[in-house]
Amino acid sequence: MPTLRAGLNTLAVVVAATLTFGATSSLQAAPASPADAPASAPVGATDSGPLPGNSRPATTPLEVEAPPNTETRAPAPAPAPDQVRAVIDEEDGEADSAEALGPEEDPEGDDAQGKRKRRRKKKGKKGKKGKKGEKDPNRLEYGALPAVNYDSDLGFGFGLIGTLAKFAPGYRPYKWRLELLLYATAKSKPGGAGGVEVPFHDDYLDMDFPGLLNNRLRIKAIVGFRRHTTIGYYGLGSAAKAEEPWLGYDPELEEEDFNNARRFHQYDRIYPYGDIWGRINVWDRSTPEYKRRLEVFVGVGFLYSVVNLYPGSRLEQDHLLKQQDTPDGREMARLLHGDEDHAVLRGSTGLLIDTRDHEYTPTRGTFTEISVRGAPGVDKGLAYAGFNVNTSWYKSIYKEWLVFGFRGIGDFIVGKPPLWTLTRFGAFLDRPGPGSGWSVRGVPRQRFHGKLKAIGNFELRSMLVRFNIKDQRFHIGAVGFADTGRVWADYRPVTINGVPLDGGFTDWALGLGGGLRVKWGETFIVRVDVGHSMSLQNTGVYIDIGHIF
């Protein structure tokens, strides 16, 4: 009981601190310009979760290795002129819905309504027309565009993304929306032997139903299929070493052995999956200048994993070790799970605390996730529970010209978690780490496996140049960052083959670097980051959509 009481007191302190900081920092100054104010999200970019970062379409919080709202989901492609017009039309559709609710319920007031009416009159010749050239409030909108990105760990991503959205009076931003993705990545084969491989493949259908229960409930569902042929595994714990056994083979005379050795730190995983969740707005005191909102989310999902071990790989070695009746074998059997085919029925729930002044480019306020996730162990005894606190804080040093951002993450898992959960954290914001362009830049993804994780990100952001192309607004900015993180294999020191799995407490992975940001309008941000890990002597290049936090 004392432990439970202390935990509840800690939770209360976290909630109170984030709400208090967000309210006070947000009231320090009004937005310097319209660009600083919150914007209505376009179709495919709502505030129910990023894809990836804080500017991507929302998706389920119950996500797995390479989830659709994170590192390998194809980014929302740069909007073509037709798409930009569709975004403007959607904003008009939101205005139609607000007017249908009545003037007293429109949060943006009469002046904003008058501006919308004038804009619709100007652009009302497109689409199905209503009175005075307005868009049909019960219309369907659809679109399809290529989706591309780049990640030094996975290679060049390419695919096709299509959407279908139904609009209706009283629903914002739409009544329902479907998103279909066909996506894969291509990368040069390792070893310089030539040729291209496809390390990752992802197909899914995402369904979104916002505006339920008078805009207090949002339901999302997703079904999909993925294959990732180069998932990393270097061993358990922060002291896991990167080995190079291929150096002992001649790539021309011993080609097969050489190619197998290049897979030493990899395995293959195939997994169909399905998830459904709800997000409930339980308290909201937001204003046009900043948010002050508390939400609850809950969801369930199912997946089936087919795990293929490469011959002679590190994972195959540990898989064979845990079958031995020796002290090292029993210790490995206690820690390593999910290295065979398995099914997982999972669930999650948690709180979301949002006091940011802007969802996509915040300059002050906080966003915090406090969540629990887990599985009852319907197959192979894989019962586990994960606990996460993920909090981001923003402070404007000088308007949007210089903003300091910090993210701190603590995550731990108890029970028998599958192997792939040891390289991820969170439930609503499901991310890979430590390692990858979404946690510690410069550190390869899936570089470290452990039940306990700690991550810290520090950024200085600046929007330096503003310009217009016709009626479209652009900003160009820069970011400098320092990332750090580490794992612990277990809650107590573990030694296998006479070697500790974890280093000392100061044995943290470190990534330093910088990047560019190109902001188009209010919600579309292209991110280009280069990070170098001084601890691992590795450099990563990442081109994607949205800030990492």
Q: What's the CA dihedral at 162, 166, 167, 170 to 10 degrees? A: -130
Task: Please tell me the predicted confidence (pLDDT) of residue 233.
Answer: 98
184 pLDDT higher than 70:
yes
Task: Please tell me the predicted confidence (pLDDT) of residue 88.
Answer: 31
64 pLDDT higher than 70:
no
DSSP state of 172: S
Nearest alpha carbon to residue 267 among 483, 419, 440, 85: 419
User: Which tens digit of pLDDT belongs to each residue from 10-23?
Assistant: 434 443 444 444 43
Within the chain, how many helices (H) and strands (E) appear? Answer: 7, 20
Task: Please tell me the predicted confidence (pLDDT) of residue 421.
Answer: 97
47 pLDDT higher than 70:
no
Nearest alpha carbon to residue 202 among 337, 97, 70: 70
What is the C-alpha separation between 489 and 452, in angstroms, rounded?
Answer: 7
Q: How far is CA 362 from CA 396, 465, 547, in A?
A: 9, 17, 10
Task: Please tell me the predicted confidence (pLDDT) of residue 131.
Answer: 52
Task: Please tell me the predicted confidence (pLDDT) of residue 427.
Answer: 95
Task: Please tell me the predicted confidence (pLDDT) of residue 91.
Answer: 35
Work out the pLDDT band at 312, boundaries 50, 70, 90. Answer: very high
What is the C-alpha separation between 34 and 50, in angstroms, rounded?
Answer: 22
Task: Please tell me the predicted confidence (pLDDT) of residue 112.
Answer: 39
SS3 208: strand
Nearest alpha carbon to residue 421 among 447, 455, 386, 391: 386
Task: Please tell me the predicted confidence (pLDDT) of residue 137.
Answer: 87
Q: How far is CA 86 from CA 57, 76, 164, 320, in A?
A: 16, 14, 12, 56
346 pLDDT higher than 80:
yes
Task: Please tell me the predicted confidence (pLDDT) of residue 133.
Answer: 52
- Domains of the chain and CATH, by start: 2-545 (2.40.160.50)
Strands (E), 233-341: 266-284, 293-309
What is the C-alpha separation between 533 and 519, in angstroms, rounded?
Answer: 27
User: Which tens digit of pLDDT belongs to each residue from 117-163?
Assistant: 444 444 443 444 445 556 788 999 999 989 899 999 999 999 999 99
Work out the pLDDT band at 396, boundaries 50, 70, 90. Answer: very high
Q: Mean of the pLDDT values across residues 517-534? A: 93
Better-scored residue on pLDDT, 518 or 38:
518
User: Which tens digit of pLDDT belongs to each residue from 75-104?
Assistant: 444 444 334 333 333 333 333 333 332 323
Task: Please tell me the predicted confidence (pLDDT) of residue 192.
Answer: 60
Q: Report the predicted TM-score, pTM, of the whole model to 2 decimal places.
A: 0.76
Longest dimension (CA), the chain: 81
Q: Which residues contact 4 (CB under 8 A, 6 or more apart)?
A: none
